[in-house]
A and B are shown apart, each in its own frame.
Chain A
Amino acid sequence: MNSSQKTAYYGIFAALAIIMGWVEMMIPLPVPVPGVKIGLANVIVVMSMYYFDNKTALGISFIRIVISGLLFSGFSGFLYSVAGAILSFIIMVLAKDIIKFNIYSVSILGGICHNIGQIVIASIVVKTNLSIYMPILIISGLITGALIGIIAKNCLTHIKR
């Protein structure tokens, strides 16, 4: 892949990630708990971790957060996303490169850590301990993470052709 191809790919992936985040906001969730998210945008981040490399995935993730923060969620939403994204990204890199988990486990850990990162920031913002939501955040992270992993895996086999 030469550098102009790369630029085009990065743009497409970043745009997809932003759209995924937007689509997600249209989907009502059955659990009214702050911090619970499907994390559709994480499909793109996980895919770029495997299709390109960690550095690219981090860049795409960062661009997505900044732009969707500007477009939709405002400053507080931006803070929650950043915390969730940083924590989940660090854990996903560790899980992928150090422990060498498969893509499903990487994405599950990413989902859980994203939820935990958000609730930690939320606890600081409202100055209250929100750890009561921890079990539901772990379980929802497990389920959505597994789904995200399956989607990312299937998409990857198609774009690698």
Chain B
Amino acid sequence: MKKKDIILIISIIIIAIISYFLFTLGKNEKGSQVIITVDGTVIEKFNLYEDREYTIKNGDHYNILTIKDGYADIIEADCPDKHCVNQKKINKMGEKIICLPNKTIIEIIGADESNIDSIAN
């Protein structure tokens, strides 16, 4: 290990830590709404504190979303990688569950945020 390689690894770790704080800053508050985006368009908006089950459809594909006890979660999907099902349930502002193959995103937002803002983000 030469000196510059050690410097590189240390700076990578520092960048990772800084970016962690940057991206999670101010995102520890609980959100109040769940927005569902399919292929870039917001299709549905739910209150996070009303329990429900909803099937998100994108063409022939589907993801099943449940909202329960103030958490949103995807419990079933027909995508090949199942990342969306395996991701943890979410309830904080800015948290997302993403299903890339089905181009589906569920995201937690606060009460006063408009749809347009959260897309522009």
Q: Is the CB of B5 within 8 A of A126?
A: no
CB closest chain-A residue, reference B81: A34
- What class of interface size applies to chain A in its complex with B? 20 to 34
**What CA separation (Å) do A76 and B84 show in the bound complex?**
17
Give the chain A neighbours of B23 by CB distance below 8 A. Answer: 131-132, 134-135
Does B26 have its Cβ within 8 Å of any Cβ on chain A?
no
Fill in one digit per residue for A124-161: 1 if any B CB lies within 8 Å of its CB, else 0: 01111111101100110010000000000000000000
Known: A126-B103, A126-B105. A135 touches B4 (CB 8 A): no
Sample of 5 A–B contacts (CB below 8 Å):
A101-B5, A102-B2, A128-B96, A128-B107, A130-B96
Known: A112-B12, A138-B12. A128 touches B105 (CB 8 A): yes
Q: Is the CB of B9 within 8 A of A126?
A: no
CB closest chain-A residue, reference B95: A132
Does B50 have its Cβ within 8 Å of any Cβ on chain A?
no
CB closest chain-B residue, reference A73: B80
Fill in one digit per residue for A75-102: 1 if any B CB lies within 8 Å of its CB, else 0: 0100000000000000000000001011
**What CA separation (Å) do A79 and B1 show in the bound complex?**
35
Does A122 have its Cβ within 8 Å of any Cβ on chain B?
yes
**What CA separation (Å) do A104 and B119 show in the bound complex?**
39
**What CA separation (Å) do A12 and B32 show in the bound complex?**
55
**What CA separation (Å) do A131 and B96 show in the bound complex?**
11
Shortest A39–chain B CB gap in Å is: 16
Give the chain B neighbours of A122 by CB distance below 8 A. Answer: 98, 100
Could you tell me which residues of chain A, from 21 to 37, have a CB within 8 Å of some CB in chain B? 32-34
Q: Which of B13-21, B62-70, B109-117 contacts A (4 or more CB under 8 A)?
A: B13-21
Does A105 have its Cβ within 8 Å of any Cβ on chain B?
yes
The 6 closest A-B pairs by CB, nearest first: A127-B40, A32-B86, A135-B20, A138-B16, A105-B5, A32-B83
* B contact set with A: CB distance below 8 Å: 1-2, 4-5, 8-9, 12-13, 15-17, 19-20, 23-24, 37, 39-40, 81-87, 94-96, 98, 100-101, 103-105, 107, 119, 121
Give the chain B neighbours of A18 by CB distance below 8 A. Answer: none
Shortest A122–chain B CB gap in Å is: 6
Shortest B50–chain A CB gap in Å is: 24
Does A65 have its Cβ within 8 Å of any Cβ on chain B?
no
**What CA separation (Å) do A61 and B105 show in the bound complex?**
31
**What CA separation (Å) do A76 and B23 show in the bound complex?**
27
Give the chain B neighbours of A41 by CB distance below 8 A. Answer: none
CB closest chain-A residue, reference B2: A102
